[in-house]
């Protein structure tokens, strides 16, 4: 096996094309080993094996800098740069993350997980190289799906101003996570169909040089192309056409399902059934499908992650013109929902907490200044959400809840979530965001309110005394457990409050609490800094009320165990009781 002798990119430079092809097959075995047992980004990694080999064959990493967009396609790069153990040895899976990571290797320049950033980051590397008078190639590797993101388009537009060596490898597999959306993909198709020769060329229109590689899974073609641009003095695009999931029939056939895949049996492609259980993805989709059928003005919008709220290809087709996937274009999505609402439509835009970070200005300027009555569904906004440092869902409360005019709601259970969503869609006064619960689908027997237009009215769910617990959203159940524990240990039942509104203070209730309570505990599923609890602490700042805020520390955490994080932040009922009775 060749792969056993590859500890760094230097080790592949003496191999011939045939040997490199054997190496590619060996790499796919390693990829299959990790991906089938651990899950991960299957399609992107299987598709770019040859291109990664050719890049390391032609260029000299790390002197030549490779920057991978999103970097979910960096597994082959990791294998070729001394990290093979994490793929072939099951006990070493945990040694590496699923993304590039400078802490792992000098061949990785950035911790990257969001799309569309590679060109701008790489422009910075190139600019520093130039002002310092150094040389070397800087190469950004970006998939076609990422091209529609505003940051990527800004970077591509700027790149031609560098006026020095800069290479953008566009890895075109004719897919985003789902299918691509946007006019530029028609141009990519024309380029593929014309062998890169059609006169109207997006990249040339941005002022870049351009070459075309028809088969981006052919190592020989790739080496020739990369050699031809190595040390180019001008910003240049190398457009390579690859097959997403290349080398594994199920992944080549069902590209959307195999973009990211859970563990599976390599022989069949089947994953163990996870059983029949409720999840907010399909529940949300069902709810929105019913709303859209009943009312033609309801429109659901996603940005490249439609399945995360249940919109499978079949559901998307069924929804027709009332469903829009804008592709990777979150800023556009938020501005567009403001426009839809302004013209009397009822738009709902859903994406992950981490991806809403792309839209701060659009939420503020396009949506909230205009008080457009649109609905934002904030998914995986929780310590229970995604666990990679680049996809954390614990920052949305400070980011969004301090924007004026926005009503940000935190439902505590399934029934309350859909009541809030229904109210939000039908009302015409407020921009509303709703945090989809993330702690499993919890049901309640108690009737939930259907009207949330009395803004900032918290709900007392259990009336007690001494201590009042304000337990927000999907940490409400922690509040319930804490209330039970306090009752059990002290003999006095505390008051339990479901605040519901993240964006404001129920001053009347907070005043009222002063009468029979000396302590208020807030619990929220997000970082404390800039969050909900601090608003309560400010309200009571000059009073005698003792306020204890519970939530997460302001920090980037990576590949964590939820239980560890909760314990480190003293978020178990036992820890909280111990603190407040200390």
Show contacts with a copy of itself in window 397-426 (CB under 8 A): 398-399, 401-405
- Measured from the CB atom, the residue of 7 and 194 that comes closer to a copy of itself is 194
- Measured from the CB atom, the residue of 289 and 341 that comes closer to a copy of itself is 341
- Measured from the CB atom, the residue of 76 and 401 that comes closer to a copy of itself is 401
Hey, which residues between 125 and 154 contact a copy of itself (CB under 8 A)?
Answer: 125-133, 148-151, 153-154
DSSP secondary-structure letter at 392?
A: -
Question: Of the listed pieces 13-21, 330-338, 435-443, 487-495, which binds a copy of itself according to CB under 8 A?
Answer: 330-338
E strand map for 242-333 = 298-302, 323-325
Q: How far apart are CA 455 and CA 506, in angstroms?
A: 9
Token pair, residue 79, equals: 């294998």
| CB of 128 vs a copy of itself, minimal distance in Å | 4
Backbone angles phi, psi at 70, to 5 degrees: 60, -40
Choosing from 540, 560, 562, 572, the residue that interacts with a copy of itself (CB under 8 A) is 540
Choosing from 66, 123, 413, 486, the residue that interacts with a copy of itself (CB under 8 A) is 123
- Measured from the CB atom, the residue of 133 and 272 that comes closer to a copy of itself is 133
- Measured from the CB atom, the residue of 253 and 518 that comes closer to a copy of itself is 518
Q: How far apart are CA 269 and CA 89, in angstroms?
A: 21
Q: Residue 104's beta-bridge partner residues? A: none
| CB of 477 vs a copy of itself, minimal distance in Å | 23
183 forms part of the interface with a copy of itself (CB under 8 A): yes
Question: Of the listed pieces 218-226, 274-282, 423-431, 528-536, which binds a copy of itself according to CB under 8 A?
Answer: 528-536
Instruction: Report the Cα–Cα distance between both ends of the chain, in Å, rounded.
Output: 63
SS3 category, 513: helix
Hey, which residues between 265 and 304 contact a copy of itself (CB under 8 A)?
Answer: 296-297, 299
83 forms part of the interface with a copy of itself (CB under 8 A): no
Complete edge-to-edge strand list for the sheet that includes strand 323-325: 323-325, 298-302, 346-352, 375-379, 432-435, 407-409
What does the per-residue mask of binding to a copy of itself show for 201-240, with x meaning CB under 8 A? xx-xxxxx--------------------------------
Comparing C-alpha atoms, which of 458, 411, 476 is closest to residue 437? 411
CA–chain centroid gap for 134, Å, is 35
Cβ-Cβ contacts under 8 Å for 226 (sequence gap 6 or more):
54, 55, 57, 58, 59, 238
Hey, which residues between 486 and 525 contact a copy of itself (CB under 8 A)?
Answer: 519
460 forms part of the interface with a copy of itself (CB under 8 A): no
Question: Of the listed pieces 16-24, 88-96, 108-116, 561-569, which binds a copy of itself according to CB under 8 A?
Answer: 108-116
Choosing from 169, 533, 566, 573, the residue that interacts with a copy of itself (CB under 8 A) is 533
Cβ–Cβ < 8 Å for 105, 66: no
- Measured from the CB atom, the residue of 262 and 568 that comes closer to a copy of itself is 568
Hey, which residues between 344 and 403 contact a copy of itself (CB under 8 A)?
Answer: 344-345, 347, 357-358, 360-362, 364-366, 368-370, 389-390, 395, 398-399, 401-403
Listing DSSP states for 447-508 in one string gives PPPS---STT--EEEE--SEEEEEE-GGGHHHHHHHHHHHHHHHS-PPEEEE--BSS---HH
Q: How far apart are CA 346 and CA 337, in angstroms?
A: 8
Complete edge-to-edge strand list for the sheet that includes strand 546-552: 459-462, 495-498, 466-471, 517-527, 546-552
Choosing from 535, 565, 566, 576, the residue that interacts with a copy of itself (CB under 8 A) is 535
Helix axes 219-229, 17-38, angle to 10 degrees: 110
93 forms part of the interface with a copy of itself (CB under 8 A): no
| CB of 44 vs a copy of itself, minimal distance in Å | 18
| CB of 148 vs a copy of itself, minimal distance in Å | 5
Question: Of the listed pieces 9-17, 259-267, 336-344, 421-429, which binds a copy of itself according to CB under 8 A?
Answer: 336-344
- Measured from the CB atom, the residue of 200 and 262 that comes closer to a copy of itself is 200
Listing DSSP states for 335-363 in one string gives HHHHHHHHTT-EEEEEEEHHHHGGGHHII
| CB of 541 vs a copy of itself, minimal distance in Å | 4
Question: Of the listed pieces 51-59, 107-115, 213-221, 447-455, which binds a copy of itself according to CB under 8 A?
Answer: 107-115
| CB of 127 vs a copy of itself, minimal distance in Å | 5
- Measured from the CB atom, the residue of 32 and 383 that comes closer to a copy of itself is 383
Choosing from 264, 549, 571, 573, the residue that interacts with a copy of itself (CB under 8 A) is 549
| CB of 444 vs a copy of itself, minimal distance in Å | 30
- Measured from the CB atom, the residue of 190 and 215 that comes closer to a copy of itself is 190
| CB of 297 vs a copy of itself, minimal distance in Å | 6
Question: Of the listed pieces 46-54, 214-222, 481-489, 535-543, which binds a copy of itself according to CB under 8 A?
Answer: 535-543
| CB of 267 vs a copy of itself, minimal distance in Å | 38
Q: How far apart are CA 78 and CA 48, in angstroms?
A: 12
E strand map for 276-345 = 298-302, 323-325
Choosing from 175, 240, 340, 483, the residue that interacts with a copy of itself (CB under 8 A) is 340
| CB of 154 vs a copy of itself, minimal distance in Å | 4
Query: Is the preceding peptide bond at 218 cis, omega within 30 degrees of 0?
Result: no
Listing DSSP states for 73-97 in one string gives T-HHHHHHTT-THHHH-GGGGGGS-
Q: How far apart are CA 171 and CA 77, in angstroms?
A: 15
Q: How far apart are CA 290 and CA 285, in angstroms?
A: 9
Question: Of the listed pieces 17-25, 261-269, 342-350, 375-383, which binds a copy of itself according to CB under 8 A?
Answer: 342-350
- Measured from the CB atom, the residue of 47 and 327 that comes closer to a copy of itself is 327
CA–chain centroid gap for 275, Å, is 25
| CB of 183 vs a copy of itself, minimal distance in Å | 2
DSSP secondary-structure letter at 40?
A: B
């Amino acid at each position: 096996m060749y792969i056993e002798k590859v500890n760094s990119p230097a080790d592949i430079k003496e191999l011939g094309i045939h040997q490199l092809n054997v190496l590619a097959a060996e790499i796919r075995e390693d990829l299959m080993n990790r991906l089938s047992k651990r899950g991960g980004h299957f399609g992107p990694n299987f598709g770019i094996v040859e291109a990664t080999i050719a890049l390391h064959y032609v260029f000299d990493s790390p002197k030549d800098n490779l920057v991978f967009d999103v970097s979910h396609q960096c597994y082959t790069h990791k294998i070729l740069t001394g990290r093979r153990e994490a793929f072939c040895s099951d006990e070493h899976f945990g040694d590496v993350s699923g993304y590039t990571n400078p802490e792992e290797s000098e061949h990785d320049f950035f911790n990257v997980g969001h799309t569309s950033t590679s060109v701008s980051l790489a422009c910075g590397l190139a600019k520093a190289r130039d002002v310092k008078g150094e040389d070397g190639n800087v190469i950004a590797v970006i998939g076609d799906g990422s091209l529609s993101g505003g940051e990527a388009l800004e970077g591509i537009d700027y790149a031609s101003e560098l006026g020095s060596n800069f290479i953008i490898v566009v890895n075109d597999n004719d897919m985003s996570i789902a299918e691509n959306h946007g006019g530029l993909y028609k141009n990519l198709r024309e380029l593929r169909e014309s062998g890169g020769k059609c006169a109207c060329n997006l990249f040339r229109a941005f002022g870049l040089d351009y070459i075309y590689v028809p088969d981006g899974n052919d190592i020989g073609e790739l080496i020739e192309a990369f050699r031809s641009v190595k040390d180019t003095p001008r910003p240049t695009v190398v457009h390579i056409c690859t097959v997403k999931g290349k080398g594994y029939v199920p992944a080549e056939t069902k590209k959307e399902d195999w973009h990211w895949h859970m563990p599976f049996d390599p022989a069949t492609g089947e994953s163990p059934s996870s059983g029949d259980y409720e999840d907010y993805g399909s529940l949300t989709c069902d709810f929105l499908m019913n709303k859209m059928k009943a009312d033609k003005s309801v429109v659901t919008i996603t940005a490249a992650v439609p399945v995360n709220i249940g919109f499978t290809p079949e559901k998307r087709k069924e929804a027709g013109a009332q469903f829009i996937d804008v592709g990777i274009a979150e800023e556009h999505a938020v501005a567009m929902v403001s426009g839809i609402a302004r013209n009397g439509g009822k738009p709902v835009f859903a994406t992950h907490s981490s991806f809403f970070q792309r839209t701060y200005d659009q939420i503020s300027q396009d949506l909230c200044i205009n008080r457009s009555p649109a609905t934002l569904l904030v998914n995986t906004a929780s310590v229970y959400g995604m666990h990679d440092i680049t996809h954390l869902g614990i920052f949305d409360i400070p980011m969004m809840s301090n924007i004026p005019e926005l009503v940000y709601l935190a439902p505590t259970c399934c029934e309350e979530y859909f009541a809030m969503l229904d109210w939000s869609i039908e009302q015409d006064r407020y921009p509303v965001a709703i945090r989809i619960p993330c702690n499993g689908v919890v049901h309640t027997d108690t009737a939930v309110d259907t009207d949330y237009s009395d803004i900032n009215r918290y709900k007392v769910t259990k009336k007690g005394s001494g201590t009042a617990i304000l337990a927000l959203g999907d940490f409400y159940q922690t509040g319930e457990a804490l209330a039970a524990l306090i009752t059990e240990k002290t003999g006095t039942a505390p008051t339990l409050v479901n605040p519901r509104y993240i964006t404001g203070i129920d001053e009347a209730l907070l005043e009222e609490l002063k009468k029979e309570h000396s302590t208020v505990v807030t619990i929220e599923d997000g970082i404390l800094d800039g969050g909900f609890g601090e608003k309560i602490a400010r309200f009571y700042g000059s009073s005698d009320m003792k306020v204890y805020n519970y939530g997460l520390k302001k920090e980037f955490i990576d590949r964590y165990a939820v239980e560890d994080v909760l314990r480190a932040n003293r978020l178990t009922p036992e820890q909280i009781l111990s603190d407040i009775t200390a």
